[in-house]
């Protein structure tokens, strides 16, 4: 087996959802209480459909947002299509679930009932099934019922995945790993739709084996980077509108460039590290044969103190985050790091740095964590690569000082309900003097 095959097969294995049994048990229990309330059935887990990425089988480890349709009895349609019906059916759904989970947060949120468990939540949507196999769902904002077609999306995903020997779903999972590593704000249905469109236009990858998954990922990132701006795309299967939350082209172009470097490093001892820069810690450590890694092992040793947020919390990026840094030195005007870097400048040592959150759309309360990683020969010589997950210094800020030359990376993570839901990073290049 080639090094590339080992890396990608190991990566995909590590991305597998690892709490499916717990998710399935909670799904069935919620369905049972709704069947009891709406149908008078005891112990039945029928009349449900998992949708979203979990239902399309494109979810990865760390998924925190699960979508469950509960199919209502047709006999109740007349009752709930009346004015006020959407609010009433959601309130009844919430009450039934809350009775089963009295110590759990169960709330109505316009279209769904949100059931917040530890590390993941269910968005439960009561629906009526229509003759064309679509579903009508309640919208409390407009006091009306609207149409969704998740079965068409599930079936089209399965059909193309079969036609591509499983490569569609594999690409969807790789794209989610990239999204979570780089804080890319892109919805699951949009990821699957773009991967589907890519597979349809790059048919050579339908028969790809794991030894060329690197090239497949590289070309997919280029495909994303070259996409023109869209307000929305037509979802695979259903052709319903799936809106673009935020531009993804810039981050895709960076991933494309990183993929080129990773492919060029194939066979080397640091190849897996190159892929980790794209997909995160789920990339397994695979030994290489590079002479430079043998030479490095004979040089000065240093402690690898880097920690990974994935080892502490599930990561499921759903919101945006932007960070910046204010550079302060006595006798000089404070400057933003982004302005210095935009003018191709470098930081000098002995400056105060204040890293802060510039913008985020994470709703409500959240926790903040930071990571400061020193890179390069100087950091290794000083045995000071750092990389621990840290709490803020003051408020939500992290305060540091420039100490020695090299490339330094600072990351910020926003944690809500024990899940990392937003992240951003910034490179801090420090000049020799």
Q: What string of H, E and C letters represents the secondary structure of the chain?
A: CCHHHHHHHHHHHHCCCCCHHHHHHHHHHHHHHHHHHHHCCCCCCCCEEEEHHHHHCCCCCCCCEEEEEEECCHHHHHHHCCCCHHHHHHHHHHHHHHHHCCCCEEEEECCEEEEECCCCEEEEEEEEECCCCCEEEEECCCCEEEEECHHHHHHHHHHHHHHCCCHHHHHHHHHHHHHHHHCCCCCHHHHHHHHHHHHHHCHHHHHCCHHHHHHHHHHHHHHHHCCCCCCEEECCCCCCEEECCCCCHHHHHHHHHHHHHHHHCCCCCCHHHHHHHHHCCCCCCCCCCCHHHHHHHHCCCCCCCCCCHHHCCCECCCCCEEEEEEEECCCCCCEEHHHHHHCCCCECCCCEEEEEEEEECCCCCCEEEEEEEECCHHHHHCCCCEEEEECCCECCEEEEECCCCEEEEEEEEEEECCEEEEEEEEEEEECCC
The angle that helices 3-14 and 271-279 make with each other, rounded to 10 degrees, is 30
> What pLDDT sits at residue 402?
73
As to burial, measured by CB atoms within 10 angstroms (0-12 exposed, 13-18 middle, 19+ buried), residue 43 is exposed
Residues 424/413, Cβ–Cβ less than 8 Å: no
Q: Starting from the edge strand earliest in sequence, which strands make up the sheet with 386-390, in order?
A: 386-390, 367-374, 406-416, 419-430
- Read off the pLDDT of residues 309-325 as tens digits, 9 standing for 90 and up: 999 999 999 999 999 98
Q: What angle do CA 406, 409, 410 make, to 5 degrees?
A: 140
> What pLDDT sits at residue 331?
55
> What pLDDT sits at residue 226?
98
CA distance linking residue 409 with residue 429, whole number of Å: 8
The whole model's pTM is what? 0.92
Contacts 24+ apart (CB under 8 A), 127-131: 127/69, 127/70, 127/71, 127/72, 128/71, 128/72, 128/74, 128/76, 128/77, 128/80, 129/71, 129/74
> What pLDDT sits at residue 430?
66
Residues 338/348, Cβ–Cβ less than 8 Å: no
- 329 Cβ contact list (under 8 Å, min separation 6): 350, 351, 352
Residues 259/217, Cβ–Cβ less than 8 Å: yes
Strands 321-328 and 144-148: unpaired
- Read off the pLDDT of residues 148-160 as tens digits, 9 standing for 90 and up: 999 999 999 999 9
> What pLDDT sits at residue 332?
62
**CA distances to 178, 217, 295 from 263, in Å:** 16, 10, 22
> What pLDDT sits at residue 75?
97
Q: Which residues of the chain have pLDDT under 50?
A: 290-298
> What pLDDT sits at residue 293?
44
As to burial, measured by CB atoms within 10 angstroms (0-12 exposed, 13-18 middle, 19+ buried), residue 132 is exposed
């Amino acid at each position: 087996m080639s090094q590339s095959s080992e890396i990608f097969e190991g990566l995909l294995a590590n991305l597998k959802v690892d709490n499916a049994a717990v998710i399935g048990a909670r799904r069935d229990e919620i369905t049972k209480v709704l069947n009891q309330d709406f149908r008078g059935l005891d112990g039945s887990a029928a009349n449900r459909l998992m949708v979203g990425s979990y239902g399309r089988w494109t979810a990865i480890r760390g998924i925190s947002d699960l979508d469950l349709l509960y199919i209502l009895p047709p006999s109740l349609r007349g009752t709930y299509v009346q004015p006020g019906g959407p609010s009433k059916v959601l309130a009844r759904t919430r009450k039934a679930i809350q009775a089963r989970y009295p110590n759990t947060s169960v709330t109505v949120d316009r279209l769904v009932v949100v059931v917040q468990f530890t590390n993941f939540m269910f968005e439960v949507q009561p629906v009526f099934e229509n003759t064309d196999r679509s579903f009508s769902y309640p919208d409390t904002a407009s006091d009306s019922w609207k149409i969704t077609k998740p079965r068409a999306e599930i079936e089209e995903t399965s059909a193309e995945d079969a036609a591509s020997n499983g490569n569609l779903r594999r690409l969807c999972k790789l794209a989610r790993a990239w999204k979570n590593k780089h804080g890319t704000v892109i919805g699951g249905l949009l990821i699957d739709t773009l991967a589907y469109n890519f597979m349809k236009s790059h048919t050579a990858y339908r028969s790809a084996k794991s030894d060329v998954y690197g090239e497949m990922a590289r070309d997919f990132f280029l495909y994303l980077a070259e996409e023109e701006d869209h307000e929305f795309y037509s979802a695979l299967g259903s052709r319903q509108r799936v809106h673009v939350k935020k531009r993804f082209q810039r981050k895709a172009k960076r991933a494309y460039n990183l993929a080129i470097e990773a492919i060029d490093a194939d066979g080397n001892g640091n190849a897996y590290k190159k892929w980790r820069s794209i997909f995160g810690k789920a990339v397994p450590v695979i030994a290489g044969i590079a002479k430079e890694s043998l030479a490095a092992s004979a040089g000065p040793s240093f402690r690898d103190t880097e920690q990974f947020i994935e080892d502490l919390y599930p990561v499921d990026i759903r919101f945006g985050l932007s960070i910046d840094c204010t550079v302060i030195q006595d006798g000089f005007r404070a400057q933003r790091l982004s302005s210095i870097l935009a003018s191709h400048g470098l930081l000098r040592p002995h400056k105060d740095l204040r890293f802060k959150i510039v913008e985020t759309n994470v709703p409500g309360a959240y926790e903040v964590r930071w990571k400061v990683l020193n890179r390069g020969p100087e950091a290794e010589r000083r045995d000071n690569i750092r990389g621990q997950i840290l709490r803020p210094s003051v408020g939500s800020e992290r305060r540091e000082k420039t100490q020695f030359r090299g490339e330094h990376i600072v990351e910020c993570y926003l944690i809500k309900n024990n899940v990392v839901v937003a992240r951003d990073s910034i490179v801090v290049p420090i000049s020799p003097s």
